[in-house]
A and B are shown apart, each in its own frame.
Chain A
Amino acid sequence: MSAETESLERLADGGYAYGFVTDVEQDTVPPGLNEDVVRLISAKKEEPQWLLDWRLEAFRAWQQMPVPDWANVHYPPIDYQAISYYAAPKKSIGEGPASLEDIDPEIKKTYDRLGIPLVEQEFLAGVAVDAVFDSVSVATSYRGKLAEQGIIFCSFSEAVREHPELVRQYLGTVVPTRDNYYAALNSAVFSDGSFVYIPKGVRCPMELSTYFRINAKNTGQFERTLIVADAGAYVSYLEGCTAPMRDENQLHAAVVELVAMDDATIKYSTVQNWYPGDKDGKGGIYNFVTKRGLCKGARSKISWTQVETGSAITWKYPSCVLRGDDSVGEFYSVALTRDCMQADTGTKMIHMGKNTRSTIVSKGISAGRSQNAYRGLVRILPGADGARNYSQCDSLLMGDQCGAHTFPYVEVQNPSAQVEHEATTSKVSDDQIFYLQTRGISAEDAVSLIVNGFCKEVFKELPMEFAVEAQKLLELKLEGSVG
């Protein structure tokens, strides 16, 4: 057996360290989806009429929409009547996010096990966390400190109550309710998520982050995140996600909207580690997510960085609409699939303004029997004089039963545009592993060294602490050892 095959076998045996279940009393809406469920969710959150109307409009639109079938992923039809659309730990009902001292100890323990500090300054000083547990936000740290600079960082439900004018102004402006099937579903039943507003000229002094945890059984998580950076503002935001190991597939259909005004910068990083199912493909999260940023103002910049290591199926295309002149869009992605995982991920860069620039760097790693696809669209509209795009899509194959696919779409309607696309496919070779072994490095470490080298251009875009975390996570996934 070659060294590579051996490391891959260990990889295939790998466990999932975050698969535990937290035992808390839950308030759960029975499975099923109709207008009454939409009304019930809205009522539980004591929402204003305009938001209920918005949800209902989305729900009616969703009912008319066909399920998208163009992605390179395969799964049985989802029974939307079998899913529960709302689950919340009982103790938090009606009170909104608890103060940090009031969190249910069981839930606090959960986040401790996940390595997410809900206690300020205990672990990662300088990172503010909004913790979302199933359908509700259970805690948000550092709110007071951020408020001093006029920064709003709170759960989405709270934003609807406290800052309805801001929510109403921006909600659905980047991802309209009818944008796509899963976005419409999310708009109808979204439960919670994070809201961020950075005022004019303010540079957010710390990383903001949301940690999503699915705990309840047979429940979908439909969170909604909205980040607005006003003129000249800067914010760096990170999201992480995990879920218990369950034999049933669970649906996660989130929507993230970003708005950057003149000279504003939003950096959005994701480390996604949803439960991917077992090695035969049983169970796991269906991660069907719509993420889009609008570079509304001149010289604004939106940068997506994602490290996708989990989920049974990943279907997501964090995109940038470059409307402001001289605005910049970036997409840096590492997607690792193993066992029977399927990923169809990439980005869309829509160039509208003059001299808009975009960069796409995608690194796909496929192992086991997994299928990993990059799908990306670069569209240059007629008004986008001088637009430039550079795309690089690299695939790394481990073993001979996996697949890597690249689907780049380019639509250029302005003759002054420059669009470049590079793509490579390589294998982790036995020669590379042997070479590293002869220097004293184990076959397992050799594989992770090679993979980390392959992903380097993306990791360097992550905030420092998270780059280290992402690298460790990838090593864990590769070594197959339980952390």
Chain B
Amino acid sequence: MLEIKNLHASVDGREILRGIDLVIRPGEVHAIMGPNGSGKSTLANIIAGRPGYEATAGEVLFDGKSLLELAPEERAREGLFLAFQYPVEIPGVNNLYFLKAAVNAVRKHRGEEELDALDFLEKVQQRAGLVKMDESFLKRPVNEGFSGGEKKRNEILQMTVLEPKLAVLDETDSGLDIDALKVVADGVNALRSPERAFLVITHYQRLLDHIVPDVVHVMVDGVIVRSGGPQLALELEEQGYSLYGRAEGESRRAQA
């Protein structure tokens, strides 16, 4: 489903990713762990197409199509979703209206009819229940005045409504208490299916107690230094990243 070959990427002319290779098949959950500044978020942003993040070599294929040539919205319409580390506020735009615009943009791309307003509302209400989000949030402007945890929950709500083929979660667990963390994990687990894949980027192992990955990768200084099963995350929790030449929390490059 996602195939990354020898990907190099720069931000403001500085090379952050220095040859990433990664293959994610349908149904799989991959976790990427690594110290601050290792390039984890840069990878997420390159996949989603954030302006200012430049792939300098290599390729990223999504269902065989070259992602790097597509505009961010085209990637989304192809079934890619990025849950933001820092979700953005859109004042005055009703959350439900925004979700509807997003869903219909994707449906239009697939040649499907726009969803009936009532069916759509029912679906969103059901998903809001899943992420334990009060329905009043649907009527509020997107992320405006939301707490950190509410914003992250809103990301997961969007994911469950948009039902992407591949969801990339960029440090969605950061700053969450244990209850909110479970809500995020429940959202992901509810969507897990043989057709869908996840790339979970995290600094800590604790999220992986609730979302059990198939593969764990360790990223240091812009390269994947080790890959393994779920037990790798536990090892990292005990030993830190020092084995890989970096101490926990040490940051040579500012994390983008």
Contacts and interface: CB of A to CB of B under 8 A. Distances in A.
Contacts of B76: 437-440
Contacts of B87: 435
Given A449-B93, A453-B141, A437 B101 contact: no
A426 B93 CA distance: 15
Given A445-B105, A449-B101, A438 B48 contact: yes
A442 B105 contact: yes
A113 interface: no
Nearest to A429: B88
A431 B82 CA distance: 13
Contacts of B106: 440
B53 to A, nearest CB: 10
A445 B71 CA distance: 14
Interface magnitude class on chain A: 20 to 34
A452 interface: yes
A434 B50 CA distance: 7
Interface string B6-44: 000000000000000000000000000000000000000
Given A435-B87, A437-B72, A438-B48, A455 B92 contact: yes
Contacts of A441: 73, 101-102, 105
Contacts of A3: 51, 72
A433 to B, nearest CB: 9
Contacts of B146: none
A393 to B, nearest CB: 15
Nearest to A5: B51
B2 to A, nearest CB: 16
A182 interface: no
A169 interface: no
A445 B90 contact: no
B92 A438 contact: no
Nearest to B51: A2
A449 B73 contact: no
B117 to A, nearest CB: 16
Contacts of B49: 437-438
Contacts of B203: none
Contact of B90 (A442, A443, A449, A455): A449
A435 B88 contact: yes
A429 B105 CA distance: 21
A454 B49 CA distance: 26
Nearest to A363: B92
B90 A440 contact: no
B102 A435 contact: no
B81 A452 contact: no
Given A430-B51, A443-B73, A449-B101, A438 B93 contact: no
Nearest to B82: A438
A439 B93 contact: no
A453 B73 contact: no
A438 B72 contact: yes
B73 A442 contact: yes
Interface string A263-301: 000000000000000000000000000000000000000
Contacts of A93: none
B217 interface: no
Contacts of B81: 438
A137 to B, nearest CB: 38
A5 to B, nearest CB: 10
Contacts of B75: 438
A460 to B, nearest CB: 10
A454 B103 CA distance: 22
B137 interface: no
B91 interface: yes
A431 B72 CA distance: 12
Query: Of A438, A449, A454, A456, which is in contact with the most chain B CB atoms at under 10 Å from its CB?
Result: A438
A51 interface: no
B88 A439 contact: no
A434 B170 CA distance: 15
Interface string A152-169: 000000000000000000
A438 B78 CA distance: 11
A410 interface: no
A73 interface: no
B90 A453 contact: yes
B78 to A, nearest CB: 9
A377 interface: no
Interface string A438-470: 111111010001101111110000000000000
A63 interface: no
Nearest to B76: A440
B153 interface: no
Given A3-B51, A449-B98, A449-B101, A440 B77 contact: yes
Query: Of A439, A449, A452, which is in contact with the most chain B CB atoms at under 10 Å from its CB?
Result: A439
A54 B105 CA distance: 59
Query: Of A435, A440, A452, which is in contact with the most chain B CB atoms at under 10 Å from its CB?
Result: A440
A432 interface: yes
Interface string A30-71: 000000000000000000000000000000000000000000
Interface of A: 2-3, 426, 429-432, 434-443, 445, 449-450, 452-457
Top 7 nearest A-B pairs (CB, nearest first) are A453-B92, A453-B93, A437-B72, A439-B102, A440-B105, A440-B76, A435-B88
8 contacts: A2-B51, A437-B71, A438-B76, A440-B77, A441-B73, A442-B73, A445-B101, A454-B91
Interface of B: 48-51, 71-73, 75-77, 81-82, 84, 87-93, 98, 101-103, 105-106, 109, 141, 158, 162
Given A437-B76, A438-B75, 19 more contacts: A426-B91, A432-B88, A434-B51, A435-B90, A436-B98, A438-B48, A438-B73, A439-B158, A440-B73, A440-B76, A440-B102, A440-B106, A440-B109, A441-B102, A441-B105, A442-B73, A449-B98, A449-B101, A450-B93
